[in-house]
Amino acid sequence: MKFFGLIGRPVGQSTGQFIFNRIFSSKGYDSIYISMDIAKENLQRFAQFASETMSGFNVTMPHKVDIIKLLDSYDPVVTSTLSCNTVVNSEGNLNGYNTDYSGFLKSIVSLKNEINGKRILIAGTGGIFRSVCTALFSEFRPESVTALSRNPEAAEMKLSSLPWLNRIRISNYENIDEEYHVIINCSPVGMYPDVLSMPFSESMVLRSETVIDTVYNPYETALIKTGARNGKRCITGLDLYIYQAVESLKILTGIASTYSEVRGLVEEAWKSREFGKN
């Protein structure tokens, strides 16, 4: 039996364990997938454990950046984003991949007109932010991008090796007085169980045109609900999650799945548990 899993802190909000194990069962794939709450100080110990016992694992917040230094190799997308969410064990060597980048691109493929030439405001500067910004600058032409961080100087230092850093402005949450066409949440704010919180003020949402959330649980976050209620174009985090999961499953196991199959399993997981309900 092969052993796969998800690491992060927290991991209780993830449907990954349910989805992967159901797919393994339906395909007759002799494997198990377990969610593991791993503290930052235990990440190196976990990497050693994984290289000895696991076939691969997924990575969620807050480890998508820190895991990279523990890998033996990684693909060009990890190099360009400095973020990793999928790791394969190849004969004891840990090889890293990033499926958030392509997942985000697929989820916003219809938004060329909403993004090109527009001012963008992003909350959060962690792992998913790096994939989102790399996608924005690779495939779109925004007028400007501003990122919000509780500690702008520290965030700038952590992002210093990324090629697009000089194309964004990093600010704290208190110094935002402009209007932005597109607002994107790349922070965990609004994620289950903190379902009533928003990373932006309601007035900021009202002044925007397009609202994008990378949080998928719940399906409609407080941010998405506020945007939809006020007639904004809204993109939830569910599409990003599903597209990256399909690609990650293929990388980890070779199993080809589909968007509709994974979406159905996400919805089934929500129905069988107490989270993600609106």
Residue type, 164: W
Residue type, 258: T
Nearest partner of 74 among 101, 34, 36, 53, judged by Cα: 101
Q: Is 225 a catalytic residue?
A: no
Backbone angles phi and psi of 76, in degrees to 5: -60, -30
Residue type, 28: G
Q: Which residue has the tokens 């159905």?
A: 264
How many Å apart are CA 86 and CA 78, to the nearest integer?
A: 10
Q: What angle do CA 14, 50, 129 make, to 5 degrees?
A: 45
Neighbours of 177 (CB within 10 A): 5
Tokens standing for 181?
A: 């066409």
Instruction: Tell me which DSSP letter residue 55 carries.
Output: S
DSSP letters spanning 17-52: HHHHHHHHHHHT--EEEEEEE--GGGHHHHHHHHHH
Catalytic annotation, pick one of 64, 118, 225, 232: 64
Q: CA dist 206 to 31, 117, 148, 196, Å?
A: 47, 20, 18, 17
> What burial class does residue 106 get, using C-beta atoms within 10 Å of its C-beta: 0-12 exposed, 13-18 middle, 19+ buried?
middle
How many Å apart are CA 91 and CA 72, to the nearest integer?
A: 11
Give catalytic residue positions: 64
